Structure 1
Amino acid sequence: MKKTLGILGAIVLLITLTTMITVRQKKFGQTPRGERLERIKKSPNYRDGEFRNFSETPTITADKSRMQVMFDFMTRKKIRLTPEDEIPTIKTDIKSINPEKDFVLWFGHSSYFIKVNGKTFLIDPVFSDYGSPFPFINKIFEGTDVYHAEDLPAIDYLVITHDHWDHLDYNTVMNLKPKIARIICGLGIGQHFEFWGFDPSKITELDWFEGVDLAEGWKMTATPARHFSGRGLKGNQTLWVSFVLQTPAYNLFLGGDGGYDTHFAEIGDKFGPFDLAILEQGQYDNNWNLIHTMPEQIFKIAGELKTTKIFPVHNSKFALANHPWDEPLNKITENHADSGISVLTPKIGEPIFLKDSTQTFGKWWEELN
């Protein structure tokens, strides 16, 4: 018995030491401290040592334990989680697009680039071959690795909605570092960037409904999302956000990740109507239906935001849930017929020209196995 307990103790110690060494790697970032932490403690959205959603939001909503849900997720029959064929992409020379063209260009999942009136915005870029701490987890779909840091022009604003690995990638931001003029993110996320050697004076951190003026007629406001955060052992130490980007020509909603709640109507009332809403559509599951948008909710959200167009993202690059890889795009195109809302479905790398009301996109995913 003593020998068995000794072996178990040694295993536990080994696991503990391995975990501690792993999370001390630079890429895991750093939890807020010092003046940054003191500011966080004053936020109305931070209670009992962590950030909270407006509504009670358990990560797991099924009537099961977390371990049961994980077991179910791992053992459930997998049906077409990843495409057999390569994802078709377009390698657009971003630097040479007519400077008078305003556009959004998608890199897959939730990474995209916006250029409006010469100003450039890069949102949640992940150019690595995986969306996790480790190369063997959450690998990208074949064909979705066509863009890299060197393909981008100077970045006026790097915008980060939250610090999950599929939205904030260490290797990507370090490769982009010389090009980034300014970073805009939720409270606490700046600690990661400062830990990674970015100039603190270039980092702007916002609480929900806090805004920053970028220039005359330009404003970026952090708005609520219903989600969670964390890239290490302790979660919810940084704030997850969506953004409203107001420019002289357009009013854009940048949704980030998150489930449905009353905040969409509040955002629509305060900042709408929107010319375009970029919304999460993918990686959902009934077991976590409060932290990711379910397919049947997206047009309700669009209506509450008072938008005329939606661009569904968070799909076509990683398999983070057990639905078929193309189900999010199939469902949104099936359900939108009577919505009165335009749905934009570009290929990766295919620009959405914001001034072109006649531009259309095909159902490119239907050609793939």
Structure 2
Amino acid sequence: MKLEKGNRMLYIVVLLMCGLIFSGWMFVRMPKFGQLPEGERLERIRKSPHYDGQQFMNLSPTPAFAEDASVWKTMVEFFIKGNPRREPDAPVPSVKIDLRGLHKATDCFVWLGHGAYYFQSGGRRFLVDPVLSDHASPVSFTTRSFPGSDVYQPDDLPDIDYLLITHDHWDHLDFATLRTLRPRIGKVITGLGVGAHLEHWGFSPEQIIEGDWYDGYELESGFKVVLTPARHFSGRLFKRNQTLWVSFVVKTPTLNLFLSGDGGYDSHFEAIGREHGPFDYAVLECGQYNESWRYIHMMPHQVIKAAIELQTACFVPVHWGKFQLANHDWDEPIRRVSAMAVEQSLPMISPVIGASVPMMRAGNVQENTLAFECDATQ
């Protein structure tokens, strides 16, 4: 039967729509999207006091956009108006060292860009939120890394004793990186539900330690990790807050550390400092902020306030320098936080991406010739 022209066009449109729907369905089923918790893992989540039956909740009410924010205006500023200094006009300062050659007994810190970092303490190797890909999104052409920020590939890293994952956002949990590193990772410590992604990607249940806020784990003699609150959200696709976002207290034979992950300011910093401080070092997010989403990412002055309340001898600002997720200048976070730290006489280190910085008890900071140089007056 011969189709009339109008019916033929309709038939083609329907076929195209079906093809697009099927392609989209196949795309979101790719391994990189991970997997939602189910079975015994979901039953454990439902018993959490921080789960309301549908999703995880923050300690305080936390809208993604502040009450006085205009979502439309914010989107226009970011996607249409933009900011010419949102990305650097030259490669980001960085160095590359032989990470495998670092003596395991040396306590040191290596920033890998954005929220990823590697550190050694007490003879053990730790890795936090490694995203060593050149993008932090489901597709390779968005949220691209800055030139110069991709110093290391997964094969450059040594065997890892403990991998810490703060939450499952794309700029903190990277399928490609973990797929390569998996055979060389001992244990993974993360929040409730995140293990579903990891098992989907080939990690064994025996490798994974999933915890709720305030859960503490004796990893071995002298090594303890406590999962502490953060003020943020989670999700890799459409369904939010099915996995728990966390910060970490890491106690080793040589250091007491706090690792913030992502999140806005709240009373939890003071509580953590009171219970687990004082800290030798606190690694704090300092970038990708905006007044419109000030509840889920700290503003610069709040970073300083958090550092003080945590009772840390020294802090390390991260979450900048590789991916741009906000409309501020690419280096504005470090410039503003550096200036405020000077005003408060608060010790801070900001190594360039890839440099190894020695860590010592009570945050004794030696002069670091590879420190990122910024003009805080700009």
Same fold (TM over 0.5): yes
Contact 1:37 1:188 (8 Å CA) reproduced: yes
Deviations along 1:288-342, one digit per CA (max 9) or x if unpaired, are: 1100010111111011101110100000001110000010111011111232311
Contact 1:79 1:323 (8 Å CA) reproduced: no
SS of 1:70's equivalent? helix
Quote the residue 1:228 is aligned against. 233
Quote the residue 1:327 is aligned against. 332
User: How far does residue 346 in structure 1 lie from its aligned partner after superposition?
Assistant: 0.3
Q: How does 1:162-241 map to 2 (within 5 A)?
A: 162-241=167-246
Deviations along 1:132-176, one digit per CA (max 9) or x if unpaired, are: 111001000001112011111111111100000000000000010
The correspondence for 1:364, drawn from 346, 351, 373, is 373
Deviations along 1:236-258, one digit per CA (max 9) or x if unpaired, are: 10000000001121110011000
RMSD: 2.3
How many angstroms apart in 2 are the aligned matches of 1:7 and 1:262? Answer: 58
SS of 1:204's equivalent? strand
- 2:45 counterpart of 1:40: yes
Question: Which has the greater radius of gyration?
Answer: 2
Distance 1:170 1:78, change over 3 A: same
- 2:322 counterpart of 1:310: no
SS of 2:342's equivalent? coil
Distance 1:9 1:209, change over 3 A: farther
Q: How many residues align?
A: 367
Quote the residue 2:146 is aligned against. 141
How many angstroms apart in 2 are the aligned matches of 1:41 and 1:34? Answer: 11
Sequence identity of aligned pairs in percent?
46
Q: Unaligned 5+ residue runs, structure 1?
A: none
Contact 2:350 2:372 (8 Å CA) reproduced: yes
SS of 1:47's equivalent? coil
Deviations along 1:244-301, one digit per CA (max 9) or x if unpaired, are: 0011211100110000011111111110110000000000011111000101111110
Contact 1:23 1:233 (8 Å CA) reproduced: no
Q: How does 1:104-143 map to 2 (within 5 A)?
A: 104-143=109-148
SS of 1:291's equivalent? coil
Quote the residue 1:158 is aligned against. 163
- 2:250 counterpart of 1:245: yes
Distance 1:289 1:5, change over 3 A: farther
Quote the residue 1:295 is aligned against. 300
Contact 1:62 1:288 (8 Å CA) reproduced: no
Deviations along 1:189-219, one digit per CA (max 9) or x if unpaired, are: 0000111111111100010000110112210
How many angstroms apart in 2 are the aligned matches of 1:107 and 1:9? Answer: 47
User: How far does residue 55 in structure 1 lie from its aligned partner after superposition?
Assistant: 0.7
SS of 2:180's equivalent? helix
Quote the residue 2:351 is aligned against. 346
How many angstroms apart in 1 are the aligned matches of 2:82 and 2:359? Answer: 41
TM-score for both structures, normalised by structure 1: 0.94
Contact 1:129 1:140 (8 Å CA) reproduced: yes
Contact 1:164 1:231 (8 Å CA) reproduced: yes
How many angstroms apart in 1 are the aligned matches of 2:346 and 2:375? Answer: 21
How many angstroms apart in 1 are the aligned matches of 2:18 and 2:290? Answer: 35
Distance 1:300 1:65, change over 3 A: closer
How many angstroms apart in 2 are the aligned matches of 1:363 and 1:232? Answer: 35
User: How far does residue 365 in structure 1 lie from its aligned partner after superposition?
Assistant: 4.7
How many angstroms apart in 2 are the aligned matches of 1:235 and 1:6? Answer: 36
Quote the residue 2:288 is aligned against. 283
How many angstroms apart in 1 are the aligned matches of 2:75 and 2:277? Answer: 39
How many angstroms apart in 2 are the aligned matches of 1:219 and 1:143? Answer: 35
User: How far does residue 178 in structure 1 lie from its aligned partner after superposition?
Assistant: 1.2
SS of 2:316's equivalent? strand
SS of 1:364's equivalent? coil
How many angstroms apart in 1 are the aligned matches of 2:175 and 2:327? Answer: 26
How many angstroms apart in 1 are the aligned matches of 2:169 and 2:313? Answer: 29
